[in-house]
Chains A and B, each alone.
Chain A
Amino acid sequence: MNQSTTWERLRTNRDWLGFWFMLPTAAFLLLFLAYPLGLGIWLSFTDARIGNPGSFVGLENYEWIIGDSKFQTAVFFTILYTIVASVFKFAIGLYLALLLNQNMPFKAMVRAVILIPFIVPTVLSAIAFWWIFDPQFSVVSWSLRQVGWIDGNINFLGDAWNSRWSVIFANVWRGVPFIAISLLAGLQTLPPSLYEAATLDGATRWQLFRHVTYPLLTPIIAVVMTFSVLFTFTDFQLIKVLTNGGPAGATELMATMSYNTAILGSRIGEGSAISTAMVPFLLAAIMVSWFGLQRRKWQQGEDND
Chain B
Amino acid sequence: MTEPVAGARPGSRDDASVGMSYLSTLPQRLVTLYLPLSIIMIVLLFPFYWMTMTAIKPKNQLLDLDTHNPFWTLSPTLEHIEELLFKTDYPLWLWNTMFIAVSATILSIIASVFAAYAITRIRYRGAQWIGGSIFLAYLVPPSILFIPLSTVVFQYGLFDTPFALILTYPTILIPFSTWLLMGYFKTIPYELEECALIDGASRWQILTRIILPLAVPGLISAAIFCMTLCWNEFIYALTFINTTSQKTVPVAIVTAFTDGDQYRWGSLMAGALVGSLPLVILYAFFVEHYVSAMTGAVKE
A→B interface (CB under 8 Å) = 14-15, 17-19, 21-25, 28-29, 31-33, 35-37, 39-40, 43, 48, 92, 95-96, 99-104, 108, 110-125, 127-129, 131-132, 136-137, 139, 142, 173, 176-178, 181-182, 185-196, 199, 216, 220, 223-224, 227, 230-231, 234-237, 240-241, 255, 258-259, 262-263, 268, 271-272, 275-276, 278-279, 282, 286, 305
Contacts and interface: CB of A to CB of B under 8 A. Distances in A.
User: Taking chain B's interface residues, is the majority helix, strand, or loop, or is none over half, making it mixed?
Assistant: helix
22 contacts: A14-B122, A18-B127, A21-B118, A21-B122, A22-B119, A32-B170, A33-B171, A103-B15, A104-B34, A108-B287, A111-B291, A115-B287, A119-B279, A121-B279, A122-B232, A124-B272, A181-B291, A196-B19, A199-B20, A223-B298, A237-B250, A305-B186
Interface string B272-299: 1001100110011001001100110011
Contact of B114 (A25, A118, A189): A25
A35 B155 CA distance: 12
Nearest to B139: A286
Contact of B124 (A17, A92, A186): A17
User: Taking chain A's interface residues, is the majority helix, strand, or loop, or is none over half, making it mixed?
Assistant: helix
B235 interface: yes
Interface of B: 1-2, 4-5, 7-9, 12-21, 23, 29, 33-34, 36-37, 40-41, 43-45, 47-48, 50-51, 54, 62-63, 65, 70-71, 107-108, 110-112, 114-115, 117-119, 122-125, 127, 130, 134, 136-137, 139-152, 167-168, 170-171, 174-175, 178, 186, 203, 228, 231-232, 234-235, 238-239, 249-251, 253-254, 265, 268-269, 271-272, 275-276, 279-280, 283-284, 287, 290-291, 294-295, 298-299
A101 B15 contact: yes
B61 to A, nearest CB: 11
Given A29-B134, A192-B16, A193-B5, A268 B234 contact: no
Contacts of A223: 298-299
Contacts of B144: 37, 40, 234, 255, 258, 275-276, 278-279, 282
A92 B71 CA distance: 27
